[in-house]
Chain A
Amino acid sequence: MKKLSATSKAYLVFVFAVLYAPILYLIFYSFNSGGNMNNFESFTLEHYQAVFDDSRLIVILINTVIVALLSGLIATIIGTLGAIGIVSIKDKKMRNTLLSLNNVLIVSPDVVIGASFLILFTMIGVKLGFASVLVSHVAFSVPIVVLMVLPKLLEMNTSLIDAARDLGATKRDILTRVILPYISPGIFAGFFMALTYSLDDFAVTFFVTGNGFSTLSVEIYSMARAGISLTVNAISGLVFAITVLVVIGYYFINQKAKSATSEGQR
């Protein structure tokens, strides 16, 4: 493989620096004894202490993560199957109609989605709380999964499927052995983007939640009037650090496992 040129490297460094700048800024001020994100007075760990003293905040954080992971998973399953189904439709008009319908939730502002889901849930008589929030997050994450999986499906070579069928593979085999492995980068991309949608959502969750169930976003937004406490910075910093460590750790363990198996086969 060709080595990246210095300019290329500099460009990537620049992109990463910009992407991480606001997060490092947040973490920097989480150590501020001044209590706000303006003037750094002196170093303190009190905001991290406050995180562990505030069991309500930790429960909210756990709820947030559960909703994000589960809704991401379910949305990915529905969306992937949906995308596979959409590509298999021969009628062009129908295909375009479905794709347009797919994107309605992406273009609709959160308030509209939140308010209409709230009306929907109260009409059906769903009790507001964990379940209604989870279902809503699944609902608004499905379209992004479809959009992420679709290009992989479209670039897939039809002859692959034909060959498999000629070799006597069943529909099920074709799905699990040919299609899914090929589009798996798209599936993972869809899942990660669904996580982003879920973790960022404030308005929809606000409307459809109830009975004491809350997520970190709702909590942060409603703090705005009286000022966001640095405890939130601290908890975000912790989550960020843990996520980065898990991702890097998982990646290298996976690499090692892979090279070990390939060596074993040799």
Chain B
Amino acid sequence: MRDLLQATVAIVIVCGLLFVAAGQMQSKGSTGSKDTLTVFNWGEFIDTDLIKKFEQETGINVIYETFDSNEAMLTKVQQGGSAYDIAVPSEYTVESMREDNLLIPLDHTLIPNLKNINDDFLNLPFDPNNEFSIPYFWGTVGIVYNPNLIEDHLTFETWDDLWDESLKRKVFLVDGSREVIGMGLNTIGESLNVKDDKVLRQATDKLMTLSPNVKAIIGDEITPLMINNEAAVALTWAGQAADMMAENEELNYAVPEEGSNLFFDNMVIPKTSKNIEGAHKFINFMLDQENAAQNADYVGYSTPNEAAWDIMDPEVIADERFYPSHELREKLEVYENLGLTWLGKYNEYFLEFKMNLN
């Protein structure tokens, strides 16, 4: 009994001390300002020095929270209970948030730096006239591969190269139904936003024949695995490919010519915002030429900020793999919000494909 009491008292004391310590640290860290702004972003998706700079310039105290998937973020914003002022959803989520009235329209007069964004990245179908969203980063879905580990004739100018017999158990796929089923759709020349069971069936059947080549279907851990040459080939996003290539110089990245997906992560102001003015300031700050360049440099994804291109490493901007030309981008397709019924069907087909692996 004495042991139990002693332990209880010790825990309470330790917690009390830690509580005081945390309070001290927090008050030291903040600017002391009551004006706060809560930013809800993917982890490691911003250069944290920029947050400090923003706090100094504006006197606004930034609270930074992170999420790991669009859908998880969406659930949080829908339920409310936390005052998010900025969120960074992908384009199809912007579309569904817009439809569900979860976004606050942007006041473009408060975002003069909008002029820095390249015209190609404005006024896109998922948000006409950028009424609710500003592109933050963008990229493609493609194939990252190690030429030293595969036969020379495989250059992935076509998706069919993935089906090559020499790639038995050498391919990683990313764990996303739209990406994988989309690849099947691309190979049979269909749209990535198709809503037709017969076509989806056809695409899934085509994918089933890829099974012998698939080593694993995985998520973000694809990056360290490819750096380490655990597999020769992987279907993944350009931003992650860039991360891999920065660490493993043997790797190369290609977007097959039949077409692929073009994605955007965008800054929006959710309905939960309590500091709409500060949110606009933040968006404008991130669009600033120097800040955008610094951020792109840190994160490694492609920025839509044309002004930033001028001051970034010219070699990076000239790299067609990550900054494909206007003509190449024409072939790429942006995801539309399929609606829950069709999204569910894509997932069912994907599940069928996964269950067929083992």
Q: Verify if A229 is at the interface (C-beta below 8 Å from B).
A: yes
**Are B15 and A69 in contact, CB atoms less than 8 angstroms apart?**
yes
Pairwise interchain contact B79-A119, C-beta atoms closer than 8 A: yes
How many whole Å from B239's CB to the nearest CB in chain A? 8
* In the complex, chain A residues 155-190 whose Cβ is within 8 Å of any chain B Cβ: 176-177, 180-181, 184, 187-188
**Any A CB within 8 A of the CB of B72:** yes
CA–CA, A214 to B224, complex, Å?
Answer: 26
Q: Spot the interface stretch: B19-27, B119-127, B315-323, B347-355.
A: B19-27
Whether the pair B38, A118 counts as a contact (CB closer than 8 A) is no
Contacts of A73 in B (CB 8 A): 8, 11-12
Q: CB distance B243 to A227 under 8 Å? A: yes
B332 within 8 A of A: no
Separation of A187 and B227 alpha carbons in the complex (Å)? 45
Give the distance to chain A from B72, nearest Cβ to Cβ, in Å. 6
Determine if B29 and A122 form an interchain contact, defined as CB atoms under 8 angstroms apart.
Answer: no
B1 and A177 form a contact (CB under 8 A): yes
Complex CA distance for A72 and B262, rounded to whole angstroms: 46
In the bound complex, what is the Cα–Cα distance between A58 and B79 (angstroms)?
29
Q: By the criterion CB–CB under 8 Å, are A227 and B75 in contact?
A: no
**Assembly CA distance A124 to B80 (angstroms):** 13
Give B30's nearest chain A residue, CB to CB: A55
A218 at the interface (CB under 8 A from B): yes
The stretch that binds B, out of A16-24, A99-107, A136-144, A204-212, is: A204-212
What sequence of 0s and 1s flags, for each residue 218-258 of chain B, a beta carbon within 8 Å of any chain A beta carbon? Answer: 01110110011000000000011001000100000000000
Q: For the complex, is B163 an interface residue (Cβ under 8 Å from A)?
A: no
- With A and B bound together, what is the CA distance between A227 and B80 in angstroms? 29
Check if A181 sits within 8 Å of B1, measured CB to CB.
Answer: yes
Contact check, A212 vs B63: say whether CB atoms are below 8 A apart. yes
Q: Is residue A115 within 8 Å, beta carbon to beta carbon, of the partner chain?
A: yes
What residues of A have a CB within 8 angstroms of the CB of B340 in the complex?
none
Do residues B45 and A225 form an inter-chain contact, with CB atoms below 8 A? yes
Across the interface, which residues of A come within 8 angstroms of B72, CB to CB? 206-207
The answer to the question of A62 belonging to the interface, with a C-beta cut-off of 8 Å to chain B, is yes
B244 closest partner in A (C-beta): A227
Pair A211/B67 contact, Cβ less than 8 Å: no
| Pair A122/B79 contact, Cβ less than 8 Å | yes
Contact A222–B68 (Cβ < 8 Å): yes
Chain A residues with CB under 8 A of B21: 62
Total inter-chain residue pairs, C-beta < 8 Å: 130
In the assembled complex, the CB of B196 is this many whole angstroms from the nearest CB of chain A, namely: 31
Q: Closest residue to A185 on the B side, CB-wise? A: B3
Min CB–CB distance B90 → chain A (angstroms):
11
- Tell me whether B29 and A55 are in contact (CB under 8 A): yes
- Give residues 251-281 of B contacting A (CB, 8 Å): none
Residues A214 and B65 in contact, CB atoms below 8 Å apart: yes
Chain B residues near A66 (CB-CB < 8 A): 15, 18-19, 22
Chain A contacts for B25, CB-based, 8 A: 55, 58-59, 62
Establish whether residues B247 and A38, one from each chain, have CB atoms under 8 Å apart when the complex forms: yes
The answer to whether residues A56 and B43 also contact, given A73-B11, A128-B82, A210-B82 and a CB cut-off of 8 A, is no
Q: What is the minimal beta-carbon distance from B81 to any residue of chain A, in angstroms?
A: 4
Contact A229 B82 (CB under 8 A): no
Interface residues, chain B, CB within 8 Å of chain A?
1, 3-4, 7-8, 11-12, 14-15, 18-19, 21-22, 25-26, 28-29, 38, 42-45, 63-68, 72, 75-76, 79-83, 219-221, 223-224, 227-228, 239-240, 243, 247, 299-300
A interface list, Cβ under 8 A from B = 34-39, 55-56, 58-59, 62-63, 65-66, 69-70, 72-73, 115, 118-119, 121-122, 126-129, 176-177, 180-181, 184, 187-188, 191, 206-207, 209-212, 214, 218-219, 221-227, 229
27 contacts between A and B (CB under 8 A): A35-B247, A36-B227, A37-B224, A38-B227, A63-B22, A66-B15, A69-B15, A70-B11, A73-B8, A73-B11, A122-B79, A122-B80, A176-B1, A184-B3, A188-B3, A207-B76, A210-B82, A211-B83, A212-B63, A219-B66, A222-B67, A223-B44, A224-B43, A225-B45, A225-B68, A226-B45, A227-B243
